[in-house]
A = this chain, B = another copy of it.
Amino acid sequence: MARSLAEIVARFGGELKGDGAQEVCGLATLESAGAQQLSFLANPKYRGQLSSTKAGAVILAAEMAELCPAAAIVTPQPYLYFARVSQWLSDVPMPVPGIHASAVVESPVPSSVSIGAHCWIGRDVEIGADSVLYPGVAIYPGCRIGRRAIIHAGAVIGSDGFGFAKDGETWVKIAQTGRVLVGDDVEIGANTTIDRGALEDTVIEDGVKLDNQIQIGHNVRIGKNTALAGCVGIAGSAKVGAGCTAGGGAIILGHLTLADNVHVSAGTLVTKSITVPGSYTGTVPFMAHDDWQKNFARLRHLDAMADKIRALEKRLAHFENMLEKKA
């Protein structure tokens, strides 16, 4: 849908440099935008792309405005501005409120909620206003979803946690009687799974963003505004603070506590609690396979290497003492 720059600035703020009557009908990168499109410059290191852009207009910071050959919307946070405009200009059809005829909904749901095809909403489930469930979402009995949730296709919320007691060689299932409680403004990615608690509840606080293929174990608590990338796994009873992030494929073991504002790198296995905010990593560098074979075989002998160094130090100290005495 075409919008004039004046309309955009009226709605989202910012200072317009150019003709307010000029219209744009979508967003694009500086490199690919055409005259009908609005672009943005969020990272100053891409400023070189400004001179050659064919964008009709560009969202940017004040210090970049001079360099812009097209109309400009000047704002202190161009990326945030872009995010807000992107939703307004999007022409991807959004799910409409209502329950698809093929969905199986066993609990009352507000009329502002959209429940896609083949969803299952179990008994005693509560879903907050303005939430969107894409097709194929399953929500087990007793779980609660906050307002403005976006839950993508195939996500499963409230499946049994993985809890068993040993009885000789076999396993006896522990009933998983807790719920999953999801706050407001949470997004849950496609095929992500969140288990119900064993005795207590699994809690996903307000503003949490979960990517696809994530596994959240029973009794876990994820703090406000924490964002987890794809394929992350959080084992049972872990407590993750607010404002945390985890990169793709990171795994956090069970019963650990992560402070607020902890950032776990992609592929990192977190094996103990983290009490100090900051970035944490535990991954190995990749290399050409042949180099890797030569280097990483040494890992089996790291302890022996340390012993050899200690032995060398002793032998050398022995000499040094001898020479000192002589001198």
Contact = CB atoms under 8 A, between A and B. Distances in A.
Pick from A28, A89, A190, A242 the residue with the most CB of B within 10 Å. A190
Contact of A316 (B100, B164, B169, B316): B316
A93 B123 contact: yes
A10 interface: no
A131 interface: no
Nearest to A90: B175
A156 B137 CA distance: 11
A249 to B, nearest CB: 5
A281 B292 CA distance: 6
Q: Please classify how large the interface on chain A is, using the bins under 10, 10 to 19, 20 to 34, 35 or more.
A: 35 or more
A92 interface: yes
Q: How many copies does the complex hold?
A: 3
A227 to B, nearest CB: 6
A267 interface: yes
Interface of A: 26-29, 32, 77, 79-80, 82-84, 86-87, 89-93, 100, 102, 104, 116-118, 120, 122-124, 134-136, 138, 140-142, 150, 152-154, 156, 159-160, 162-167, 169-177, 185, 187, 189-191, 193, 195-196, 199-200, 207, 209, 211-213, 215, 217, 224-225, 227, 229-231, 233, 235, 242-243, 247-249, 251, 253, 264-271, 276, 278-289, 292-303, 305-306, 308-309, 312-313, 315-316, 319-320, 322-323
5 contacts: A83-B167, A154-B154, A281-B287, A281-B292, A295-B300
